[in-house]
Amino acid sequence: MGFLNEIEPLKQTALAELLAAPDLAALEQTKGAWIGTNGKFTALMKQLGTLSKEEKPAAGKLINAAKLELEAALAARREELELKAALPKEPTDFTLPGRCRALGKLHPLTQVTDDIVRAFRKIGFAVADGPEIEDEYHCFDALNTPADHPARDSQDTFYLNTTDKRLLRTHTSSVQIRVMEKQAPPVRIIVPGRVYRRDNADATHNPTFHQIEGLYVDKNVTVGDLKGTVEFVFRELMGSDVKIRFRPHYFSYTEPSYEIDFTNALVKKMGKDWLEIAGCGMVHPQVFETVGYDAKEWTGWAFGFGIERIAMLRYGINDIRLFYENDVRFLKQF
């Protein structure tokens, strides 16, 4: 019986063509050619009406099953081709860094720290690191800060309950000593890190905060080098309208010592002429002697400043506690 025998081979050809369609456009064409309004398979179905009463049920059943099979094959191939179309044409290098973070952002303090590090790297400084739990020697003694110095007062320092009098470092200056103990001059380092003091938390103080320490040791280093470096870095961070000024001060590990004041349009907007931003000076010869550097041969400068201070200025933030509360409404803005 001609009609029934036609169904199976037609179906097989249609299936083969659907599966062979190389892309979505070709697949749509194949679909039209077989099961579209003027398709070959559709034509076969239209012939059902010409069959006799006895032939019709079996033929109808067969043709419907075949049609379902073709539609399923069409859907499966379509899915396959869509997936293929979505894949990149070039081979993918999965070791490349992502174009953006999949989730979250860097904390504003991390962003500012990264920018400071980047500025110093441009002029040849390397990043050094040291322990947050320090001994008195590296935090104070070696920095020419004797045992009766007020900076060692237990009122503003966290001591650990240990017999060897360890403490949470009060400044990153301790890393100056650790680096010089290990390394012969010249030295050119910065030290970003967390420090601890027994401060009450208010809008401008927190018991933990972050500092960047800098140390430069070489032959014939001058205050001019120090001032030029600080100016360069602050202009990189805060724009070319930055001005800085040095005021005489006292630190036991530098001589002479200065406080650095800073100004730019932002500071003026806050209704101030200058903002105190950092401490610095020429490394005290006693510090060099302590770490075994020849103070007649080597000279150097050091500085330290607070990262929160810089970030507050930069973003116009007036409460330091916002950095630690991790309220997403705050963090989202950076």
Q: Say which residues have a Cβ less than 8 Å from residue 277's Cβ, sequence separation at least 6.
A: 234, 244, 260, 261, 262, 305, 309, 310
Pick the stretch among 108-116, 159-167, 286-294, 296-304 that binds ligand DAH (CB under 6 A).
296-304
Out of 134, 213, 261, 308, which residue is the one contacting ligand DAH (CB under 6 A)?
Answer: 213
Burial of 42 (0-12, 13-18, 19+ CB in 10 A): middle
Q: Least distance in Å: CB of 174 to ligand DAH?
A: 9
Binding-site member from 27, 167, 191, 302 for ligand DAH (CB under 6 A): 302
Report the residue number, 192 or 304, with the smaller CB distance to ligand DAH: 304
**Does the protein bind ligand DAH through residue 304 (CB under 6 A)?**
yes
Q: What is the closest distance, in whole angstroms, from the C-beta atom of residue 130 to ligand DAH in the complex?
A: 13
Looking at residue 195, its amino acid is V
Residues 173-212 that bind ligand DAH (CB under 6 A): 173
261 counts as binding ligand DAH under rule CB under 6 A: no
Please identify, among the stretches 66-74, 126-134, 262-270, 297-305, the one whose residues bind ligand DAH according to the rule CB under 6 A: 297-305
d(CA 84, CA 326): 42
Among 303, 307, 309, 311, binds ligand DAH (CB under 6 A): 303
The reply to whether 254 sits near ligand DAH by the rule CB under 6 A is yes
Region from 179-187, 261-269, 277-285, 324-332 binding ligand DAH, contact rule CB under 6 A:
277-285
Q: Which of residues 110-149 bind ligand DAH (CB under 6 A)?
A: none
Which residues, at least 6 apart from 124, have a Cβ–Cβ distance to it below 8 Å? 188
Type of residue at 122: K
Q: How many CB atoms lie under 10 A from the CB of residue 104?
A: 8
Q: What distance in Å separates the CA atoms of residue 188 and residue 221, rounded to the nearest whole number?
A: 12
Nearer to ligand DAH, 211 or 264 (CB): 211
Q: How many residues bind ligand DAH (CB under 6 A)?
A: 11
Nearest approach, Cβ of residue 152 and ligand DAH (Å): 13
Amino acid present at 1: M
Q: Please give the Cα distance from 209 to 166 (Å, whole number).
A: 19
The tokens for 222 are 């001058």
With residues binned 3-state (H G I as helix, E B as strand, rest as coil), the percentages for the chain, rounded to 5, are 45, 20, 35
The separation between CA 215 and the C-alpha centre of its own chain, rounded to angstroms, equals 25
Instruction: In angstroms, give the least distance from the CB of 321 to ligand DAH.
Output: 20
* CA–CA distance, 190 with 171 (Å, rounded to integer): 13
Query: Of the two residues 108 and 304, which places its CB atom closer to ligand DAH in the complex?
Result: 304
Query: Which one among 31, 67, 169, 171 touches ligand DAH, defined by CB under 6 A?
Result: 171
The least CB distance from residue 119 to ligand DAH, in Å, is 17
By CB under 6 A, what part of segment 8-37 binds ligand DAH?
A: none
Q: What are phi and psi of 128, to 5 degrees?
A: -115, 165
DSSP per-residue letters across 132-175: SEEEHHHHTGGGT--TT-GGG-TTSS-B-SSTT-EEE-SSTTHH
Work out which of 279, 308, 312, 323 binds ligand DAH, going by CB under 6 A: 279
Interface residue list for ligand DAH (CB under 6 A): 171, 173, 213, 251, 254, 279-281, 302-304
